[in-house]
Structure 1
Amino acid sequence: MKRMMIFLSMLLSVVLLGKEVNITILGTSDVHGRMVPWNYSTDKADFSGSYSQISEVIKDYRQNNKNVIVVDIGDIIQDNYIEKFINEPQHPAMTALNEMKYDIIIPGNHEFNFGMDALNKVFKQFDGKVLSANIYYKTGERYLEPSTIMTVDGIKVGLIGATTPLVEQFEEESGNVKDMRFAMPADEIRKEVQNLKKQGADVIVLLAHMGLPNENNIPGTGVVDIANEVSGIDVIIAGHEHKNVSKQVVNGTIITEPYRYGAAISVVDLKFNVDAKGKKTLINKDAKTISVNSEKSDKKVEEIYAPYSEILIKDANVKVGETANDMVPQVLVKGIPSIYMKDSGLSTLFGDVQIYYSKADVVSFLVDNKKAVLNKGDIKKKDIANNYQYTSGETTVYELTGKDLKDYMEWSAAYFDTVKPGDTEYRYDPVRGASKYMTYDMFGGVKYKIDLREAPGNRIKDLRLAKGNKKVTDDMKIKVGLNAYRYEMLVAKGGPLEGRRVDPVWDSKTAFGEEEGTIRNMTIRYIRDAKKGKIDGKAHGYWEVIGIE
């Protein structure tokens, strides 16, 4: 009798109050080729994050939660040398994501680094859905499905994909997306919200390979703008900016972003009430990020990647040549790594390589590694990759004026904060230093000093061409070699060269090919061929940062 009363009480509760349905969405983004816990640039184990570790977390969630959706927000197939397998019959990343039972992936900007034919082949191998609402062929036809509804335990979950519209700008010089159009996302997302609601979606989730703030100061390129402009979005899982955003609420929309390199997962929890008449109401939503650091690694994913990993480790250890001296002093110069404070053997090498092949007067480059190191002795492929970390980086030459060059250099020098009286250490600018992108470029082929006692815009001193020691004047014509990605940032709205766009006169990928034209591979070829395997590793001493005695 007692059991009967409990049963009737529970039945009455369901009739009066309905049932509760919980759905969890797990989101990853910007894993950039970290399939297993191994960094192929350093050739060392790295358990800070990877898909094989993420897989174990996903398994735990599925074991303890009835309703789990798993999504990736893009930048999957580039970096950590995974691009070596872009033309494999079966791409290892898709094999792994299928094994992990991902439901949806969104193309990130780096998915387009390899051309549309290669990308189409990769996407066809994925068992789930690939979504993006704002990518079209120039004929007007959609490239991908814009959205989908997944019915989970009776709840219709509407999911919309979006990709940063700046892909066209990023890939302008490569021609990789010459037949594609990337629309500004707000209107496209708004249409999909309306379509999904007409189809009876109970909740709307935007999956966007876009950061929270607008990119390059272009309105509508960040998801905060999207949340403010488009009503009806319950949750946004963002990416692209490489930030760890546990939860931010904008205009009633929860936004989360799962950092980078597989180091974190965004966890979105949705709670619904379903009443006796079947009416479904979202009664709670929440989000957080969880660290993957030091998680164990899924042996099945490791097994999938093992033959590819073996190839990469063998290739990373191929000897390129030798240096007679240590190339980067392993010290801090008043709080900042020495690589950024004074011309070194490494910065000299990257400058000389680009000038040798491009015949430019001046070149720029970025060493996005605060722990840059290349010691006396053997130079291996992994040493080049560890110190020049932008996999696809190339040299494109533009004919600029002396004023253009100086404005560019002043912009770069503004990466540092102004030195104040009494300061004992240098500092990065608090905004630019916290950005996803390092935007401090070094320059070869010119002599200069950066005086951080001066305000931004007036820091470049004694600027002269290294060849002939000729002073750089505003109207001087100079061939400047730099990465096309950086050039597009410079000439974009709000950039230091806004409105001064010129056509390139030479680029290394046209000259040498998509792979051989990268700065990494030009450096390898320079050491092997031009220098016959031996470099002295010494600095030219062309530049330095000053300001604190």
Structure 2
Amino acid sequence: MLFSFYPVRLAALSVSILLLVACAQQEAEQPVTMDLRLMQTTDVHAYVLGYDYFQQTETADYGLAHTAVLIGQARAESPNNLLVDNGDLIQGSAMGDWAASKGNEYLEQQVHPVMRALNYLQYDVANLGNHEFNFGLDFMLKTIAGADFPYISANVFYVENEAKSGKQTQGWDNPLVEPYVIQQHRFIASDGQEHELKVGFIGFLPPQIMQWDHQHLQGRVMVRDIVDSARHYIPLMQAEGADVVVAVPHSGLQTFDDYPLFAEQASLQLSQVEGIDAILFGHQHRLFPGDDAYQNLPGVNNSGGYIHGVPAVQPGYWGNHLGLIDLKLEQQGQGWQVVSSQVELRQISEAYDAELVNLLQKEQEATLQQLNTPMAEIDQDISNFFARVRPDRSIHLINQAQLWFAQKLQEQGELDAELPLLSAAAPFRNGFQGPADYTHIPAGSVTRGDLADLYVYPNTIQVVRLNGKQVRDWLEMSATAFAQVEAHADTAQSMLNPDFASYNFDMLSGVEYRIDISQPPRFDAQGRLLNERFQRITELTYNGREVSDSDQFLVVTNNYRAGGGGNFPHLDGSTLAHAADAEVRQVIADYMLQLSAENQHSVVLDTPDNWQVQLPQEARVFFRSAGTAAAEDAAAKEAKIDFVEFNEAGFGIFRLKQ
């Protein structure tokens, strides 16, 4: 018995030793991993502070000072982190306008206030957006020169002469900024040791900058397609040793039957370029993952945050969210490979970074002083509550100012004085940011801040020359703003097309017309002709005479529309008759000041009546507008508009009567 006992114990002991050795070897062979957190802001639009410049009150709905708290928390949770901004940074808020009004000389003396904020928050890299170019190329370059971090964009380049500017499919020389950067960082890995990680960032912007800011960029830069640029540069990044490649497109998601070169929204197609490990995108002011607009797109996981398997995030606008992508990397040979990922959006709260607010206090005070400079007294409210359904005083004011400016150009010989002038303008603030996002300027003193409420973009004046048929097509495209309404409907029908942006609903002054919304639209929201026979615009007249196809007109508009913004037919830059440097907002201000001077500081506003929506008989229609008491009161003064209710989202529902 004793003889047989010892061999068994020895055998068991041997097995135990072997198991311990095996476990030790297995533990020793466990791969080294590293966590990397990518943080993103986008479309901040100079809303550094949590401040509503329209209402002139503090707000916790947006503002980079609120996002800063989330950035600090995210950094504390994950020490291996990098912070990225994805453009449309310096234009949008009153503070951005104030800085632009100081000019290039200001930037030669000190850093742009928005850039000071990003330096304070220690951003690692930033991408150019389209609105960076709104104040001119030199202003943009001087602004980003104040950054303590690199700027990137892989599809915009300097050119030698005007003939080579525009959209190109050749040439990679002379990038405007670095196409990409590869940053070397030493981060802590799972073995407790610091390891070197090479993270590459490549940026992209919408090629449409050549249309939207033609007057600033023509002859100076060219753009290339986003996807083509990625296919060219990403292999170079990999050859230079990038362990991780992060694409930063200022471009949203859109499906195409056949992807067109120079598409504005190209992130969906970009995700299929080999070698991209994460996508930080923007431009559409939406949340990804989660926004309903991204449901059921092919290859898009709208709950998890993946585009064709690539982790991706878009954190809204104005700093209302922080986007996070957490990557887990595994050491393989001398480099690192992404093995898993997680995407997250974090919404801001009332907490804010007081030090950041104090940093820009002088600029904030100067901004408010500029905003509150009185200009004139108006005798009636200016609001755009009902600008989508009937002629509107707010749009009429813009059009009158543009016509006043163009008439001076005719007197100076800059425009053909023999051609009749028309003017086009659209409502900008029309509910995109919520039920209170509408223009409302009460009767009384008007300030420059009120003009920012009326006209929110720094667009410049441009004039196009069109014939009567082209003017009619312009109006037909605007009429796409309406849904088709049936006659004798038993239930109320929504009269507005939810896929058509309000800033594309141009109203033309100088002609009279009707919009028959019982008819199908001639164009879709992308400007594609649906049917040559479809016609909504009727009784189009100028000075009481029917407009013929061969009539010639000069139409005053802005650089966005004249250069192709909104995909309007015949508006692609080829019909341009004059491009002015004057901002539309300044033209409105000058016009108001002249009226004020002529009328002892008082301005009497006209109420236009040059167009009308034509409803089918007995049709019951409703539309959405502001969810405010002011809008409800305004409806009570309208003969053909009734307030119905406030909906669950807080918007007002109104009925248009025959």
Distance in 1 of aligned mates of 2:243 and 2:392: 59
Distance in 2 of aligned mates of 1:111 and 1:102: 17
For residue 21 of structure 1, the aligned residue among 21, 34, 43 is 34
Say if 2:508 is the partner of 1:475: no
Whether the 8 Å contact between 2:250 and 2:281 is mirrored in structure 1 is yes
Question: Counterpart in 2 of 1:98?
Answer: 119
Question: Counterpart in 2 of 1:241?
Answer: 284
Displacement of 1:538: 3.6
**TM-score between the two structures when normalised by the length of structure 2:** 0.74
Distance in 1 of aligned mates of 2:261 and 2:465: 30
Displacement of 1:449: 2.1
Note the alpha carbon deviations across 1:22-70, whole angstroms, 9 max, x for none: 1111111111010101122332223211111111111111111111100
Note the alpha carbon deviations across 1:245-303, whole angstroms, 9 max, x for none: 2255333323322221212222111011236x6663311023232222x3412112111
Whether the 8 Å contact between 1:344 and 1:538 is mirrored in structure 2 is no
For residue 387 of structure 1, the aligned residue among 454, 463, 473 is 454
Q: Which amino acid is the alignment partner of residue 212 of structure 2?
A: F
Question: Counterpart in 2 of 1:449?
Answer: 514
Alpha-carbon RMSD = 2.6
Whether the 8 Å contact between 2:98 and 2:370 is mirrored in structure 1 is no
For the structure 1 residues 150 and 462, does the alpha-carbon distance in structure 2 shift closer, same or farther, using more than 3 Å as the test?
same
Question: Counterpart in 2 of 1:258?
Answer: 315
Say if 2:86 is the partner of 1:73: yes
For residue 430 of structure 1, the aligned residue among 498, 505, 510 is 498
Displacement of 1:478: 1.0
Q: Which amino acid is the alignment partner of residue 389 of structure 1?
A: V
Distance in 1 of aligned mates of 2:326 and 2:559: 41
Distance in 1 of aligned mates of 2:98 and 2:573: 36
Displacement of 1:407: 0.2
Distance in 1 of aligned mates of 2:493 and 2:240: 59
Displacement of 1:94: 1.2
Question: Counterpart in 1 of 2:176?
Answer: 143
User: SS where residue 356 of structure 2 aligns?
Assistant: helix
Distance in 2 of aligned mates of 1:367 and 1:25: 37
Displacement of 1:220: 4.8
Displacement of 1:76: 0.8
For residue 340 of structure 2, the aligned residue among 254, 262, 284 is 284
For residue 520 of structure 1, the aligned residue among 578, 585, 589 is 585
Distance in 1 of aligned mates of 2:330 and 2:562: 52
Unaligned 5+ runs, structure 1: 1-6, 330-336, 510-516
User: SS where residue 528 of structure 1 aligns?
Assistant: helix
Note the alpha carbon deviations across 1:415-435, whole angstroms, 9 max, x for none: 2211134252434323325xx
Question: Counterpart in 2 of 1:332?
Answer: none
Bigger radius of gyration: 2
Question: Counterpart in 2 of 1:305?
Answer: 360
Displacement of 1:366: 1.6
Question: Counterpart in 2 of 1:497?
Answer: 570
Note the alpha carbon deviations across 1:317-359, whole angstroms, 9 max, x for none: 1111111123338xxxxxxx41221113222212211111113
Q: Which amino acid is the alignment partner of residue 84 of structure 1?
A: W
Question: Counterpart in 1 of 2:140?
Answer: 119
Question: Counterpart in 2 of 1:171?
Answer: 213
Aligned positions of 1:13-52 closer than 5 A: 15-52=28-65
Question: Counterpart in 1 of 2:610?
Answer: 542
Distance in 2 of aligned mates of 1:483 and 1:537: 22
Displacement of 1:72: 0.5
Which range moves more in the overlay, 138-147 or 222-231? Answer: 222-231
Displacement of 1:207: 0.7
Displacement of 1:135: 1.8
Distance in 2 of aligned mates of 1:353 and 1:204: 49
User: SS where residue 142 of structure 2 aligns?
Assistant: helix
Distance in 2 of aligned mates of 1:309 and 1:217: 44
Question: Counterpart in 2 of 1:367?
Answer: 427
Whether the 8 Å contact between 1:325 and 1:538 is mirrored in structure 2 is no
Distance in 2 of aligned mates of 1:13 and 1:469: 90
Whether the 8 Å contact between 1:162 and 1:209 is mirrored in structure 2 is yes
Distance in 1 of aligned mates of 2:572 and 2:394: 33
User: SS where residue 52 of structure 1 aligns?
Assistant: helix
Q: Which amino acid is the alignment partner of residue 377 of structure 1?
A: G
Distance in 1 of aligned mates of 2:573 and 2:47: 38
Distance in 1 of aligned mates of 2:516 and 2:149: 54
Whether the 8 Å contact between 2:563 and 2:573 is mirrored in structure 1 is no
Whether the 8 Å contact between 1:27 and 1:267 is mirrored in structure 2 is yes
Whether the 8 Å contact between 2:251 and 2:283 is mirrored in structure 1 is yes
User: SS where residue 563 of structure 2 aligns?
Assistant: helix
Q: Which amino acid is the alignment partner of residue 180 of structure 2?
A: S
For the structure 1 residues 327 and 98, does the alpha-carbon distance in structure 2 shift closer, same or farther, using more than 3 Å as the test?
closer
User: SS where residue 127 of structure 1 aligns?
Assistant: coil
Distance in 1 of aligned mates of 2:284 and 2:473: 26
Aligned positions of 1:91-240 closer than 5 A: 91-139=112-160, 140-152=173-185, 153=187, 154-172=196-214, 174-176=215-217, 178-213=219-254, 218-221=260-263, 222-227=265-270, 230-240=273-283
Distance in 1 of aligned mates of 2:90 and 2:603: 34
For the structure 1 residues 345 and 503, does the alpha-carbon distance in structure 2 shift closer, same or farther, using more than 3 Å as the test?
closer
For the structure 1 residues 345 and 142, does the alpha-carbon distance in structure 2 shift closer, same or farther, using more than 3 Å as the test?
closer
**TM-score between the two structures when normalised by the length of structure 1:** 0.88
Displacement of 1:177: 5.0
For residue 416 of structure 1, the aligned residue among 459, 474, 482 is 482
Displacement of 1:224: 3.7
Aligned positions of 1:456-471 closer than 5 A: 456-457=521-522, 458-465=535-542, 468-471=543-546
Q: Which amino acid is the alignment partner of residue 509 of structure 2?
A: G
Whether the 8 Å contact between 1:464 and 1:470 is mirrored in structure 2 is yes
Which range moves more in the overlay, 539-548 or 27-36? Answer: 539-548
Note the alpha carbon deviations across 1:458-502, whole angstroms, 9 max, x for none: 22222222xx32322211101111112112226x9x642277922
Q: How many residues align?
A: 517
Distance in 2 of aligned mates of 1:443 and 1:244: 34
Distance in 2 of aligned mates of 1:262 and 1:72: 10
For the structure 1 residues 176 and 193, does the alpha-carbon distance in structure 2 shift closer, same or farther, using more than 3 Å as the test?
closer
Displacement of 1:217: 8.4
Q: Identity across aligned pairs (percent)?
A: 23
Whether the 8 Å contact between 2:595 and 2:602 is mirrored in structure 1 is no
Which range moves more in the overlay, 177-186 or 422-431? Answer: 422-431
Q: Which amino acid is the alignment partner of residue 464 of structure 2?
A: Y
Whether the 8 Å contact between 1:346 and 1:537 is mirrored in structure 2 is no
Whether the 8 Å contact between 2:564 and 2:572 is mirrored in structure 1 is no
Displacement of 1:507: 3.8
